[in-house]
Amino acid sequence: MSKPKVAVLLGGRSKEREVSLITGGEVYKALIQGGYPAFKIDLDENLVENLKKEQPGIVFIALHGRCGEDGAVQGVLEILGIPYTGSGVLASAISLNKVAAKRMFKAEGIPTAEFCALTQRVFKANRLKVAKELADSLGFPLVIKPASEGSTFGMSIVKDEKPLLGALEEAFKYDDEVLAEKFIEGTEITVGVLGNDEPWPLPTLEITHSREMYDYKAKYTAGMSGHIIPARISKERRERAQKEAVRVHRVLYCSGFSRVDFIVSSDGTPYVLEVNTIPGMTPLSLFPDAARAAGIEFPELIEKIVEFALEKRRL
Ligand SMILES: Nc1ncnc2c1ncn2[C@@H]1O[C@H](COP(=O)(O)OP(=O)(O)O)[C@@H](O)[C@H]1O
Ligand SMILES: [Mg+2]
């Protein structure tokens, strides 16, 4: 069977543009290596014209964050009838909003840190009262984060009442919705998932770093973080996390691939932090490393993701 022409969609205007350019570049190289006629499209308002002109058989979405990972681009491709990699509109939209995703986890009994969601309007109406209520209901330490931002933008760990207001103000610079969640002490791990209707987990990957959080700098500076595969927790705990990752993939209607971030607490509970429906594919990224540990080299991984997209189309 001849290989379809693949458009690698990258860049865009989100805060994660730079990361997307690297992810997209790696994906493009792997596709060329695998014999696919691939080309790149930088996401802008000419997307529809560009796609109509080039007529790709499939689009590989290598975008992170808003307007790429949140269902917007997926919706455009649905309208145009062009197959695309990864999750559809619904899964993408829910996963990018940490509040929406956590509400789903709670409803399904998937462990996730206790949290409170806040809108800008409610916060602005009475900052002091809102901060006090948060502190009373969750206690400290807690983590403040914008609902729909990645790469730890606007996020902070708050240990007592004093910096709370400032942390909330900072997070609201990034989004109209913010969440406060309990800080979970434990081992930080991530689990990649592959597949559509019968998804399976990749090996657990433990993240080590010397910063307060696994933030932008820790993620994208060589040598600032480490990947340990499998995670240094018991086999039983690793398997539990893998099971939860697959459950998260299904519950959120993900397809093709996803990566679920957890903190495993001292009693072994894997608390889900978030789901990434388009995990990074840079040379420092987690997902390709976990795949390699499962015997799947990068070009093969990219080919699998393309095949899952075509399979979903045929179902
Ligand atoms: N509730 C929490 N408890 C402990 N650490 C957290 C918590 N939430 C986030 N972190 C830290 O912050 C990092 C980024 O958080 P995450 O929710 O995955 O957002 P994103 O990766 O989209 O920026 C995590 O990898 C972890 O190091
Ligand atoms: Mg994360």
**pLDDT at residue 313, rounded to an integer:** 82
- Which residue is closest in CA terms to ligand 1's atom 17? 273
Question: Does 262 lie in the same domain as 227?
Answer: yes
Evaluate whether residue 44 is within a structural domain. Answer: yes
Q: Examine the domain organization and report whether 218 and 232 are in the same domain.
A: yes
Residues 196 and 281 in one domain: yes
| 211 token code pair | 């910063």
For residue 41, give the CATH number of its domain.
Answer: 3.40.50.20
259 labelled catalytic: yes
pLDDT at residue 28 tops 70 = yes
Is residue 262 in some structural domain? yes
In a domain, 175, yes or no: yes
Could you tell me where the DSSP H helices lie in 1-126? Answer: 17-33, 47-54, 72-80, 89-96, 98-108, 120-125
In this prediction, residue 36 has a pLDDT band, given cuts at 50, 70 and 90, of: very high
β-partners of residue 227 are 207
Res. 98: pLDDT tops 90: yes
pLDDT value of residue 223: 87
- What is the CA(273)–ligand 2 centre distance, in A? 7
Q: Is residue 235 part of a domain?
A: yes
49 is catalytic: no
Considering the domain architecture, whether residues 201 and 68 belong to the same structural domain is answered as no
Specify whether 101 is located in the same domain as 71: no
What is the number of other CB atoms lying within 10 angstroms of the CB of residue 210? 8
Give the residue from 125, 153, 182 where a domain finishes: 182
Domain finish residue from 143, 163, 182: 182
Q: Which atom of ligand 1 is nearest to the CA of 276?
A: 22
Token representation of residue 201: 């987990």
* pLDDT at residue 213 greater than cutoff 90: no
Q: Could you tell me the pTM of the whole model? A: 0.96
Sheet holding 156-158, edge to edge: 115-119, 177-182, 142-146, 156-158
Same domain? For 35 and 135 the reply is no
In angstroms, what is the C-alpha Rg of the chain?
19
Do 140 and 34 lie in one domain? The reply is no
- Which of 15, 99, 134, 143 should be mutated for ligand 1, with most atoms under 8 A from CB? 143
Query: Is there a domain that residue 238 lies in?
Result: yes
Domain that holds residue 259: 94-111+184-314
Give the H/E segment covering residue 150: none
> With pLDDT > 90 as the criterion, what percentage of the chain qualifies?
90
The yes-or-no verdict on residue 314 having pLDDT over 80 is no
Q: Region 134-148: what's the mean pLDDT?
A: 96
Cα separation, 14 vs 67, in Å, equals 7
Q: What is the per-residue pLDDT for 315?
A: 62
- Judge if 211 and 292 occupy the same domain: yes
Determine the pLDDT at residue 67.
Answer: 85
Shortest-distance Cα residue to atom 1 of ligand 1: 183
Average per-residue pLDDT in the chain? 95
Catalytic residue, from 11, 12, 16, 154: name it: 16
Residue type, 215: D
CB atoms within 10 A of CB 221: 11
Number of domains in the chain: 3
One of 92, 97, 276, 285 is an active-site residue; which one?
Answer: 276
For residue 64, give Cα distances in angstroms to 20, 37, 44, 172.
6, 23, 14, 20
Q: Using the atom order of ligand 1, give the atom closest to the CA of residue 214.
A: 27
- Residue ranges of alpha helices (H) inside 109-234 are 120-125, 127-138, 164-172, 216-220
Q: Collapsing DSSP states into helix, strand and coil, what is residue 46?
A: coil
**Can you tell me the distance from the alpha carbon of 126 to that of 69, in angstroms, rounded to the nearest whole number?**
33
Domain annotation covers residue 1: no
Q: Residues 228-264: pLDDT tens digits?
A: 999 999 999 999 999 999 999 999 999 999 999 999 9
Same domain, 105 and 161: no
Across 25-39, average pLDDT: 98
User: Which atom of ligand 1 approaches the CA of 113 most closely?
Assistant: 1
171 and 98, same domain (yes or no) = no
The CB of 220 under 6 Å from ligand 1? The reply is: no
Higher-scoring residue by pLDDT: 11, 66: 11
- Whose tokens are 């806040």? That residue is 118
CA angle 290/296/300 to nearest 5° reads 125
What gap in Å lies between CA 75 and CA 88, rounded to an integer? 8
In a domain, 11, yes or no: yes
Mean pLDDT of 210-221: 85
Active-site entry in 237, 238, 247, 259: 259
Determine the pLDDT at residue 65: 86
- CATH number of the domain that residue 265 is part of: 3.30.470.20
Q: Is residue 71 part of a domain?
A: yes
Q: What is the pLDDT of residues 264-300, one digit of tens each?
A: 999 999 999 999 999 999 999 999 999 999 999 999 9
261 Cα: distance to centroid of ligand 2 (angstroms): 6
Average the pLDDT over 94-114 and give the result: 98
- 227 with 135, same domain? no
Q: Which residues lie closer than 8 Å to 1 by C-beta, 6 or more apart? A: none
Tell me which of 158, 182, 206 is where a domain ends. Answer: 182
pLDDT at res. 102: 98
Note whether 167 and 174 are within 8 A (CB): no
Ligand 1 pocket member 143 (CB < 6 A): yes
- Retrieve residue 80's tokens: 């145009």
CB of residue 151 inside a 6 A radius of ligand 1: yes
For position 147, which CATH number holds?
A: 3.30.1490.20
Are residues 247 and 102 located together in one domain of the fold? yes
Give how far Cα 213 sits from Cα of 43, 57, 185, 186, 244, Å.
30, 40, 11, 12, 23
Asked if residue 285 has its Cβ within 6 Å of ligand 1, the reply is no
